[in-house]
Amino acid sequence: MDAYDEDAREPRAPGGPSGSRRPGWAPGQSPDPLPAQGQSPDPLPAQGPSPADPLPDQDQSPAPSPAQTQGQSSAPLRVQAQDRQSPDPSHAHAQDPSLESPESSPASAAAPSPPTGVAALSLGYQVGAALVVAVIAVATGVHLLMVFLSLAPSNTVTKQHGKAVERWVYPEFEQNWKLFAPNPLQQNIAVQVRAVVRARDGGLRTTGWTDLSAQDGAAIDGNPVPSHTQQNELRRAWDFFAATHGTDNRAMGLRGSLSEQYLRRIVVMRLYRDDPTSREGVIQRVQIRSSTTNVQPPPWSRERVPDKPVYRLLPWWSPSSDEAARGVR
């Protein structure tokens, strides 16, 4: 029998021809019984060294086959070829705008903030706001123009429209430029008043001097928003009187008479309001005087000025019937 002949007595492998040797069968060994129908044959042993074979050293590795060597030598060439064919992804993103990141795309940009201020209003309210701003701007321009004309030297406009300018400016918006004059004011002027009052029992009483300017000063001190009346009413009334009267206290022209009437009404009104004696009786006569005191120079100055007050005494005068009956408004 040749070495390649098949022996009919040898057990055949499952699914193999008659006489083929089963794997792992040695001559003289009794063959394993064939599996019964429905049973799977014994699984093939797992790949790897058998327990009987010695384990190879960790430092030793099997020699590579020629095919493996050829594959390893050609791997770097394939990697280099792939590097030449596929560019850097980051470089591709930089060259191709379609590959930009979602953060840099316009679709993912932050939504614009809603409008604020006047832009957030409707069209009707915007038109109304524009009209209000226009009216305020026109009124401010007219006011500044009127004040300028009241301070400017005499010209054609003031000659033709001087009355309109005075009605706009005086007395609320009158400007006093004496602070910027070559010789600023260096005196304190106080307006004082006394009266003869008929009491309820019929007797006459003369009040002491009441400093009306000091009362206005006390109301202004420490007040962040003092009233225009406290600041200017009495002061401007006395300036008006002094400018339209001579040193003999006689009126000069119609404006002088008007200034007397204006000053007397203010004084009588203040007496009835602030003087206890006048509140309890009826004012019969009134007398006004001014007290002028020089402002003392600073300590480091060598200038010397008198510190005694100088009085300007006006004659007694009798108020009108409506003034005496508290009809002053």
Q: Which residue has the higher pLDDT, 42 or 261?
A: 261
CA distance 194 to 277: 11
Task: Work out the percent of the chain whose per-residue pLDDT is above 90.
Answer: 29
Tens of pLDDT, residue by residue over 182-206, are 667 788 999 999 999 998 888 999 9
* Residue of 21, 1, 5 lying closest to 13 (CA atoms): 21
CA distances in angstroms from 78 to 26, 45, 67, 69, 289, listed in the order given: 48, 37, 16, 15, 118
Q: Span 17-35, mean pLDDT?
A: 53
pLDDT tier at 79, thresholds 50, 70, 90: very low
In the chain, pLDDT over 70 holds for what percent of residues? 63
Give the residue ranges of DSSP H helices in 65-111. 66-85, 89-95
More confident residue, 318 or 11: 318
Burial class (CB in 10 A: 0-12, 13-18, 19+), 75: exposed
Q: Is the pTM of this model over 0.75?
A: no
On whether the CB atoms of residues 10 and 25 are closer than 8 A, the answer is yes
pLDDT band at 113 (very low <50, low <70, confident <90, very high): confident
| Of the candidate ranges 63-67, 166-170, 312-316, the one whose mean pLDDT is the lowest | 63-67
pLDDT reading at 54 higher than 80: no
pLDDT tens per residue across span 258-289: 999 999 999 999 999 988 888 888 999 999 99
Contacts of 175 (CB under 8 A, 6+ apart): 147, 150, 151, 169
